[in-house]
Structures are given as structure tokens and as C-alpha cells.
Amino acid sequence: MEVSKYIMLFHKKLKGEINSREQEELSGWLQQEGPRSLTEDLDKTWNLSKRYKQGYEPDVDAGLARLQQRIAEARKTPQPAGAQPSPARRSLYRWLAAAAAFAALATIGWWWIGNSNAGSEQSALIYTTGAGESEKVLLPDGSTVILNENSFLVLSAEFNGASERPVELTGEAYFNIEPDPSRPFRITTRDAMVEVLGTAFNLRSYPEEGFTEVEVEEGSVRLSGLDNENAIQLAPGQRGICSPGAAMNAKDSPGLNAQSWRTHRLQFRNTPLSEALACLERHFKVELQLVNSQLADCGISMKFEDFTLNEVLDGLTLIFNVQVYPMEGGYRLEKGSCKPAASEMR
């Protein structure tokens, strides 16, 4: 069925004009595999609009007009047989969720929440990325942020204030913060608060994972719970994790492997194999099951750069003499033995 029909149904829902039959039809479409993240995106953007602009009503008519124009432009572009969809086509579902609610949504995933009239005061700025996307953002203070996929960064109305630079993050991002001793840079996640003056670090806080992780590259980072108590100070090459009900501690992370999504590099220095496999699982989004538990504490010293999963598995086979078998959702590593070795793959 034509997407345009569901756009109109979605438009009617936002205006409160949808009937029960239309609501049932729209709900069924939203649950399909293609637009599965649509409802989550809509809920997040709609709730943010309530938080940052009291009394603001989205101009759904203007949003619909913009969305329909965007789709029309995308359809005019011919697609060669076998070609990958264009960015405009890939982001269609995100457009449906956000453009119908906010008139100023752009393809790179940022928009102002607030009145769109010229000269009106903007109250919050949001940057977003979808699945498989990343985005580099220059903030008003000169700091830079690189968002990983499926992430939201919110700059509140007080960001340019005199006392601090507050932001909120859901997802993962690499921060390079411009020094300003008079205005600390504060990041709030679902589980934690991070405060810096001027530094570079990676911050990860996906809701489904239930923790916030900080890995420091330069400078110093203060990590605490939302109650701002039991804080720890992280130095370069250290990693800290904050999760509800668990004690926080600093741990050495010399390879800065949490940033592999951005650097395409992993480095292990006598790292326990179980820990190395956890890094690889997160990087490739697959399960790597170690059957021989005696290998879990075996140290691995290896560097992967611009690597593929097959190259990594080949390396593990050479080092530990494991046998690799495919399974649903990943690979199973069987047999093998500890063998000290160092290698580098580029």
C-alpha cells in the first residue's frame, strides 16, 4: 500500500481526527519490520517537545506539507537496478515520525524545537542519528561531537548561559570539548552525570543496556550518578561505568577500544580473551560464544585496524588454535589452547 496513505493517517492521528478503524490500520503498519523504530522516534521527539517548550503546539499541517514535498523529490531520482537506496529514501520512516510533528526536521537529523517564526527564541536544539548513521556536530561553544548510530543529543536553552553548558545524551558519542573553566560542560544520561572543563572522551548510554560508560582520551572527566554523589575522576586511558545499584570504579583502557565505532581500530595488550571477545561483539553486533572456558583468562596482544570480522576470526584461530563454527546470530569458538602471541592486522 502507498506510503502516502499512512502519512495521511499519521497526520490525522496528530490532529486528533483519526477514527478507530484508521487507528487500527496505522498501528498494524507501524508494527511491520520496515518502520519498527518509528514509534520510538515519535515518542522521543514528542516528549522532548513537551519538556523544552511549554505550551508549544507542533504545526502538523506545515510538517505534512514539508514531508510530502521531500518524498516527491526523492521519487523523482531514478534508482539503478541493484543500487542501494539513497539517504533520502533510507531516512523516509524517520521523516514520517518527526516531520509530521516538527516542521523544521532536516535529513541529517537535527531540528529546533520551538516556534518557527523569524526572530522567535529557540528553546532546545536536538541532533539525532538513525540506524547505521553517524554525524559530526559543531556546538555553539566550538566543541565538536560525533554521534554514533541511534543517538540523541539535546542542547538545552541554558547551553549559552553564563554558568554551565548542559546537554543530554541518549546513545553514544565522542566529545571533544573546548576548555572554558568558568562554564563546565555537563552531560546527563539516563543513569549518570558527566562533568568536564575541556577534554576528549567517548560516552555510551543506550537505554536497553542499562549503564553509562565513559572512556577518556584526553584531560579529566568526573563521572557520578544522577544524585551527584559517589563520583569518580577518570584520567586519560581510563574507563568508568555507572549503573543503578552498582559501585563505580575506574579501570585502565589503554587501547581506547570503546571508540572502535569511530576509529575502526581495536588494540589489545595482554587483554583476557573474554574481555576482547566482548569488545568484538559490541563492534560487530554479533555473538561470539567461547565454549572452552579455560581460554577466558588467556591474554591476547593484538591490533586490528580497518578490519573485517572474518579477519578477526582468522587471527583468533591462529593465536589460540580455536575452531570457529557459525551459529544463529554469531559464531561459536571451540577447543583451542592458550598461546602467548602478538600480532597486528591492518
Q: What is the mean pLDDT of each run of 10 residues along the chain (346 residues)?
A: 56 67 76 52 50 44 54 50 43 45 35 39 73 89 93 85 88 94 92 90 89 92 85 92 84 79 89 91 92 93 88 91 93 86 47
Based on the domain organization, do 61 and 90 belong to the same domain?
yes
pLDDT in tens, 115-131: 333 344 445 788 888 87
Based on the domain organization, do 99 and 6 belong to the same domain?
yes
Give the ranges where the chain is alpha helix by DSSP (H): 3-14, 20-30, 38-52, 60-76, 87-90, 92-99, 260-263, 273-284, 309-320
Based on the domain organization, do 308 and 208 belong to the same domain?
no
Would you say residue 209 lies in a domain? yes
Based on the domain organization, do 134 and 251 belong to the same domain?
yes
CATH of the domain at 327: 3.55.50.30
pLDDT in tens, 142-156: 999 999 988 889 888
How many domains does the chain contain in total? 3
Point out the domain boundary residue: 214, 244, 261. 261
Residue with cell 571508540: 259
CATH of the domain at 205: 2.60.120.1440
Q: Which domain holds residue 50?
A: 1-104
With both helix axes pointing from N to C terminus, report the angle between 92-99 and 38-52 in degrees, rounded to the nearest 10: 30
Residue with cell 581495536: 266
Judge contact between 67 and 111, C-beta under 8 A.
no
Based on the domain organization, do 153 and 173 belong to the same domain?
yes
The secondary structure of 5-37 as a DSSP string is: HHHHHHHHHHTT---HHHHHHHHHHHTSSTTTT
Beta bridge partners of 169: 153
